[in-house]
Structure formats: structure tokens, C-alpha cells
Amino acid sequence: MNIFITGGTGFIGTPLVERLAKDRTNKLLVLSRRSQPRQPRVTYLRGDLDDIGRWKGQLMRFKPTVAVHLAWEGIPDYSAPTSIKNLTASLRLLDVLAGAGCKKVICAGSSWEKGFQAPRAEQRPPERTLAFVAAKQALHELGLAMARERNVSFSWARLMFVYGPGQKTSSLIPYLIACAQKNQRPELKNPGAKNDFIYVADVAEALAAIIKKGQPDTTYEIGSGALTTVRDVVRLVFKTYGVPLPAAALKRQPPSASFSGVRADPAVIRGLGWRPKTSLQAGIKKMVDSYASN
């Protein structure tokens, strides 16, 4: 299979490229704004999503059969200008992919879409009217419509709270690991907030299953299907390090405006034979080990 990947150098894309490159029948073309080291079955295409005209010819010559679009510039900048920029570049990419004869496209969505389901804008809590969420939803809807018109299969991979090696250091689990390493009390906005945590290698496996067997017009929610509180994650990280948790760390605090309590309904992705293999405990242990070896 000829697979074109955007975001293949990022936190989620890196293990996906590694996973797909193991299959000798795959040829991968991976977009990146930076030059990348060579590896078997992977060609890096130097280019920016904002400037497709410059590298469109190489994409056409590659003749992608499948495309996975993960790139999203500027995270954690969820502002309107950045979100609109990403949406515009993504829609242009979908148009170019259809023109290149690509028959299957998979785009990455976010769990936050699920916390944003009130039918009318005025009914939504103001903290949830994030431009980022609106842009992802618009990409989902317009991507589906464009794909139908161009006879392309379009799948939406709605990712829950992904964690694992390579995650941004400001994210929850890397931050807690840094606190445990220094035996420092973590500052938590809302220890009672719940998330559906899913290990990054499991997400790569799920995306590989969608590439192989995913159906058109389908949303795949990728998560464990279970909710875990931030408080329990803190306990797991400190326990893995074997350091005592400062008593005041988990004290009750006023509810925050952050999103919480969104979990995947993994029924559809399970239909492709996928199951998460890494428990939260095992995933945190792998992260701690990877930090120790670096």
C-alpha cells in the first residue's frame, strides 16, 4: 500500500510510521517541515501544509492509496486564527488527495468534540466554545461531504487522552513524572477531573487497523472506554517511582472549567479486531522507564 502521512513526525505519528514501516508491502511518504533521517520504506517529503503547491507534484507521483492526516499546527494554541489556518490547509489537502487518486483518507479528531454536543451555540458552556473544536468538527463534516462527492472513503479517528513516550513535557503525565523525580508536590487544577487515557502505541495499532479495514463514513473512537481521575493517575505515577505522595497534593479544589468525563465508545473500532493492550499502570511504567533511559 502507498500511504501518505501528515504529522508522521509528531507524538502520535512517530509510532504510527514505525508500525506501518514494519510491513514490507507498505511504502510510506511522510510530510515534514524539517529534514528527517532516512529509514527503510519511508520517504520524507519536506514541505509545509500551508504551501501544498510546492510539493503537490511529489505527492501526485507517489500515487497514494491511503492518507492519514494527523498534522495540526500550533497545539496547544487553540485560538481561532490558528484553528482556521489548520482547517483551511486540511481542506485543501483533502482536495489535492482526491485529485491524486487517493481512495481512502483518515483524519484525527479529538475527545473534546464529545463535550461540545449541545445543539445550539447559546446552550453550550462558554468554556467549551473552543475554536479548535469547531475547526475539527468542520473538518469532519466538510471532509465527509467532499469525500462523498469525490468517491473517497473518509474515516474519522476520534482520539481520547493519548499518553506515552514522546509526549509534550507540559502534558499531565510527563509533568507528574517530573514532579515524582524531584519528589515535588504537583500543582493540580482539578484532581477530580476524569479522562479516558490511551497509550500511544495502542493508538498507532488502532490507526493501522483503520488503514487496513476501516469503513467509509465511519467514526472510530479510540480510547480505553474507561474513565480515570487525575488523582488516580498521580497515585500511579508516584507509586511507580516508589516515592511518597505529599499529603496535600490531592486535596479537593474548586471545580475547574477544564473538560472532563469524556470517554470513548470503542464498539466500532473493536469491530476491526482492535483492543488496547497497555493498561494505564503498564503505560506509566513504560514512560517512566523511557525517561530513565534518556
Ligand X SMILES: NC(=O)c1ccc[n+]([C@@H]2O[C@H](COP(=O)([O-])OP(=O)(O)OC[C@H]3O[C@@H](n4cnc5c(N)ncnc54)[C@H](OP(=O)(O)O)[C@@H]3O)[C@@H](O)[C@H]2O)c1
Enumerate binding residues for ligand X (CB under 6 A). Answer: 6-7, 9-13, 31-34, 48-50, 70-73, 75, 108, 110, 159, 161-162
Q: How far is the CB of 160 from ligand X (least distance, A)?
A: 7
Burial class (CB in 10 A: 0-12, 13-18, 19+), 50: middle
Mapping DSSP to helix (H, G, I), strand (E, B) and coil, where does residue 214 land? coil
Is the CB of 44 or the CB of 238 nearer to ligand X? 44
> Which helix (H) or strand (E) element contains residue 126?
none
Q: How far is the CB of 86 from ligand X (least distance, A)?
A: 8
Q: How far is the CB of 31 from ligand X (least distance, A)?
A: 5
CA-to-CA distance for 191 and 106, rounded, in angstroms? 34
CA-to-CA distance for 102 and 151, rounded, in angstroms? 10
By beta-carbon distance, which residue lies closest to ligand X? 10
Is the CB of 7 or the CB of 214 nearer to ligand X? 7
Is the CB of 70 or the CB of 152 nearer to ligand X? 70
Q: How far is the CB of 132 from ligand X (least distance, A)?
A: 8
∠ at Cα 202 (189, 38), nearest 5°? 105
Q: How far is the CB of 33 from ligand X (least distance, A)?
A: 3
Is the CB of 71 or the CB of 102 nearer to ligand X? 71
Note the residue count of the chain. Answer: 294
Q: Which residues contact 61 (CB under 8 A, 6 or more apart)?
A: none
Is the CB of 106 or the CB of 162 nearer to ligand X? 162
Is the CB of 139 or the CB of 147 nearer to ligand X? 139
- DSSP letter, residue 171: S
Phi, then psi, of 218 in degrees rounded to 5: -125, 140
Look up residue 271 and give its amino acid: G
Q: How far is the CB of 13 from ligand X (least distance, A)?
A: 5
- 10 Å Cβ neighbour count for 241? 18
Q: Is the dihedral of CA 110, 106, 225, 200 positive or negative?
A: negative
Q: How far is the CB of 231 from ligand X (least distance, A)?
A: 20
Is the CB of 73 or the CB of 232 nearer to ligand X? 73
- 10 Å Cβ neighbour count for 23? 15
